[in-house]
């Protein structure tokens, strides 16, 4: 197995007005190659999980290790581009001069010809693609994606999903993708884990009989996952 | 109508009175009805006329107000509502200005003052920037510092002049201190606000790109703060000019403030008015220049409020 997160016994809670809100309570997950999708409703701790893996947050207990080169890319829920930089400059942000080919990265994400556009001159979907190109800039072996397409309209979202699959095939990187959308999880995931009650409640490996992805996913699997995500809290 | 073809490229934006433009051009000597292949001299004078027209058009509001004020001033003098000793008429002031310009006196004062304001402003910027950086890099240290700074902010620098003279003598130092004390606070507020207001969402991008804190500061926090920094700088530039008379009030051989104080002592109201107009004009010019540079080199966070 190449790059991926290895998480065991992860605990994290936040303090909220003298109250302790537990978010993750003993989460275990060993990532395998391909696209791992963490699915769960809004507020279940998906962002918290990714921030812990990215090292932006400290765990209360447990271990987060990242296998591989240590080069991790991250795509946030919002594009978070620097409004004062062009698309190309955003992609090259923080990279050593000449170390990354911004033109090629923008072409890879379908933005050839938009190198000099400022973020406000780009549509939402294009901004997200710049953000993806930026995350790819240091050649990550693992990329973390936090509902990156949630704010997009359906058509753009589907285009972006196909784009991501294409990029993943080209680069061979592994992806840890979180989403609240079961449809998205079923379309993208090679493996789908359900986050519920602060830990992994279900873990499914997706086998695609035809070997191809379709937008009409395996009904049986969808039913199984749906029952796990919707079960009442204990 | 060769006129119309010549018209574009005076300004980048269509001005509100653009439709009137071509019509008002008629009557400018040497431009209207000129030959198809004008000579070099004609071409130059035509370009000059166009530039002058552009300047006038851009500053038409200010020119109207200036005209009204000078007219009222002249009227007050002509009706002898005030004695010429108290309010010298515009033509006397104009004569004084011409005399001071040709003798080089005015230029000497302007250059001296520009030097002081420039040095004071640069020093104030360095201090203000240090305070701003401290506010985000070492907030605990800044917490000890900020009450003292807030206190100082509310003390008029002129109130400190007696002490400054005792401490620093009557050389350049106390003058510089007055300018710095006047200019530093608006700038430190702008810089601190700008640096502090960079959201965690953008700073997290730095973390996600494995940037060091120093690189995150330079690549994300600082450029994000730039619009606020520049507003603070622009306000402070005006403050530095306003501090000038106070700073040059004591034992200054040259400078616009010294000119005004000396002229006042000699009851030369005309020279006082020349000095006042010169301070305002040079201040206005530096302010416009600053805004122009900012508009030219910054393409983000600078909106139409930057004029
Ligand atoms: N900085 C924080 N302070 C307090 N509570 C937080 C903070 N971040 C997240 N939470 C809480 O943790 C829970 C999980 O949040 P999050 O990980 O953002 O969920 P998701 O991304 O799945 O929607 C939520 O209940 C949220 O209110
Ligand atoms: Mg989230």
What is the least distance, in Å, from the CA of B103 to any CA of chain A?
49
Ordered per-residue pLDDT tens for chain B, 307 residues: 334 444 444 444 444 444 443 444 444 444 444 445 657 778 888 888 998 888 888 888 888 999 999 999 999 998 988 888 888 999 999 999 999 999 999 999 999 999 999 999 999 999 999 999 999 999 999 999 999 999 999 999 888 888 998 999 888 899 999 999 999 999 999 999 999 999 999 999 999 999 999 999 999 999 999 989 998 999 999 999 988 878 887 777 889 999 999 999 999 999 999 999 999 999 999 998 998 888 877 766 665 565 6
Which helix (DSSP H) or strand (DSSP E) does residue B213 occupy? helix B213-216
Asked if A149 contacts A161 with a C-beta cutoff of 8 angstroms, the reply is yes
Residues A184 and A111 in one domain: no
End-to-end CA distance of chain A: 35
Positive or negative: CA dihedral B103, B109, B114, B119:
positive
pLDDT in tens, A148-173: 988 888 888 898 899 899 889 888 89
Residues A135 and A23 in one domain: no
Residues A39 and A130 in one domain: no
Domain extent, residue A17, equals 4-71+141-229
Ligand 1 atom at shortest distance from the alpha carbon of A45? 17
Q: Inspect the interface and report whether the beta carbons of A93 and B209 lie closer than 8 Å.
A: yes
CA atoms of A38 and A59, how far apart (whole Å): 19
* Mutational test site, ligand 1, from A21, A57, A146, A177, max ligand atoms within 8 Å of CB: A21
The reply to whether A175 falls in a domain is yes
The reply to whether A45 falls in a domain is yes
**Considering its fold, how many domains does chain A have in total?**
2
How many angstroms separate the Cα of A34 from the Cα of each of A4, A168, A179, A190, B212?
A: 9, 8, 16, 6, 30
- Looking at A139, A155, A181, the residue that finishes a domain is A139
Residues A147 and A212 in one domain: yes
Asked if B246 contacts B181 with a C-beta cutoff of 8 angstroms, the reply is no
pLDDT exceeds 50 at position A182:
yes
The reply to whether A101 falls in a domain is yes
Positive or negative: CA dihedral B57, B59, B64, B66:
negative
What is the least distance, in Å, from the CA of A224 to any CA of chain B?
35
Residues A104 and A197 in one domain: no
Residues A62 and A94 in one domain: no
- Looking at A124, A139, A154, the residue that finishes a domain is A139
Name residue, tokens 């020119």: B63
Which residues lie below 8 Å from residue A86, measured CB to CB, with a gap of 6+?
Answer: A115, A116, A117, A118
* Burial call B167-183: b when 16+ CB within 10 Å, e when fewer: eeeeeeebbbbbbbbbb
The reply to whether A202 falls in a domain is yes
The reply to whether A76 falls in a domain is no
CA atoms of B199 and A37, how far apart (whole Å): 28
Residues A15 and A130 in one domain: no
How many angstroms separate the Cα of A223 from the Cα of each of A196, A212, A217, A220, B70?
A: 16, 20, 10, 5, 85
pLDDT value for A211:
62
The reply to whether A216 falls in a domain is yes
pLDDT in tens, A109-148: 888 999 999 999 999 889 999 999 999 998 888 999 999 9
- Contacts B226 to A, Cβ<8 Å: 84
CA atoms of B124 and B149, how far apart (whole Å): 13
- Pairs across A and B, CB distance < 8 A: 51
Residues A135 and A145 in one domain: no
Residue of chain B whose Cα is closest to the Cα of A52: B208
Among A187-191, A207-211, B244-248, the range scoring the smallest mean pLDDT is A207-211
Tokens of B160: 């400190």
- Contacts B300 to A, Cβ<8 Å: 83-84, 118
Residues A166 and A127 in one domain: no
- DSSP helix/strand/coil, A118: coil
What band does A209 get if pLDDT is binned at 50, 70 and 90? low
- Cα B168 to chain centroid, rounded: 28
- Contacts B206 to A, Cβ<8 Å: 94
Which position has the higher pLDDT, A4 or B7?
Answer: A4
Residues A48 and A157 in one domain: yes
CA atoms of B235 and B241, how far apart (whole Å): 10
CATH code assigned at A21: 3.40.50.300
* Closest-approaching ligand to the CA atom of A38: 1
Residues A154 and A223 in one domain: yes
Q: Is B302 on the interface with A (CB under 8 A)?
A: no
CA of B200 to the centre of ligand 1 (A): 15
CA atoms of B184 and B153, how far apart (whole Å): 9
Q: Is A151 on the interface with B (CB under 8 A)?
A: no
Residue of chain B whose Cα is closest to the Cα of A77: B201
- Looking at A139, A158, A184, the residue that finishes a domain is A139
Tokens of A13: 């809670």
Provide residues with CB under 6 Å of ligand 1: A 14, 16, 21, 23, 42-48
- Contacts B211 to A, Cβ<8 Å: 94
The reply to whether A204 falls in a domain is yes
Residues A88 and A167 in one domain: no
């Amino acid at each position: 197995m190449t790059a991926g997160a290895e998480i065991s016994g992860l605990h994290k809670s936040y303090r909220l007005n003298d109250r302790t809100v537990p978010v993750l309570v003993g989460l275990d997950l060993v990532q395998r190659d391909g696209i791992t999708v963490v699915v769960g409703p809004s507020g279940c701790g998906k962002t918290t999980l990714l921030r812990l893996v990215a090292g932006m947050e400290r765990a209360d207990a447990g271990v987060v290790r990242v296998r591989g080169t240590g080069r991790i890319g991250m795509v946030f829920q919002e594009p978070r581009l620097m409004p004062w930089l062009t698309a190309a400059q955003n992609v090259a942000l923080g990279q050593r001069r000449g170390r990354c080919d911004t033109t090629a990265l923008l072409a890879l994400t379908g933005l050839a010809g938009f190198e000099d556009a400022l973020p406000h001159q780009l549509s939402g979907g294009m901004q997200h693609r710049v953000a993806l190109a930026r995350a790819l800039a240091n050649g990550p072996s693992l990329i973390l994606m936090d509902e990156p397409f949630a704010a997009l309209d359906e058509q753009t979202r589907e285009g972006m999903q196909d784009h991501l699959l294409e990029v993943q095939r080209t680069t061979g990187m592994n992806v840890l993708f979180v989403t609240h959308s079961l449809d998205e999880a079923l379309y993208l995931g090679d493996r789908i884990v359900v986050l519920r009650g602060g830990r992994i409640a279900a873990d499914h490996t997706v086998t695609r009989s035809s070997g191809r992805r379709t937008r009409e996913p395996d009904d049986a699997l969808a039913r199984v996952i749906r029952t796990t995500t919707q079960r009442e809290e204990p | 109508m060769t006129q119309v073809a010549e018209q574009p490229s005076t300004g980048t934006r269509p001005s509100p009175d653009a439709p009137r433009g071509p019509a008002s051009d008629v009557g400018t000597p040497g431009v209207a009805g000129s030959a198809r292949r004008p000579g070099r001299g004609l071409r130059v004078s035509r370009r000059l006329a166009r530039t002058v027209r552009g300047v006038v058009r851009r500053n038409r509001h200010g020119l109207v107000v200036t005209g009204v004020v000078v007219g009222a001033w002249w009227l007050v003098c002509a009706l002898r509502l005030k004695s010429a000793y108290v309010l010298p008429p515009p033509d006397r002031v104009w004569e004084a200005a011409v005399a001071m310009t040709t003798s080089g006196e005015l230029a000497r004062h302007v250059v001296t003052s520009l030097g002081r304001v420039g040095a004071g402003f640069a020093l104030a910027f360095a201090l203000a920037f240090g305070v701003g950086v401290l506010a985000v890099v070492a907030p605990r240290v800044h917490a000890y510092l900020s009450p003292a700074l807030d206190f100082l902010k509310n003390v008029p620098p002129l109130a400190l002049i007696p002490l400054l003279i005792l401490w620093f003598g009557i050389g350049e130092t106390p003058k510089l201190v007055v300018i710095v004390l006047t200019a530093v606070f608006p700038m430190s507020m702008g810089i601190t606000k700008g640096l502090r207001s960079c959201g965690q969402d953008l700073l997290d991008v730095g973390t996600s790109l494995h940037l060091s804190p120093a690189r995150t500061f330079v690549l994300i926090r600082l450029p994000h703060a730039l619009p606020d920094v520049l507003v603070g700088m622009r306000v402070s530039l005006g403050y530095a000019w306003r501090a000038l008379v106070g700073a040059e009030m004591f034992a200054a051989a040259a400078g616009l403030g010294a000119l005004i104080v000396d002229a006042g002592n000699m009851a030369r109201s005309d020279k006082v008015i020349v000095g006042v107009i010169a301070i305002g004009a040079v201040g206005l010019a530096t302010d416009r220049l600053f805004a122009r540079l900012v508009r030219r080199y910054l393409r983000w966070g600078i909106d139409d409020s930057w004029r």
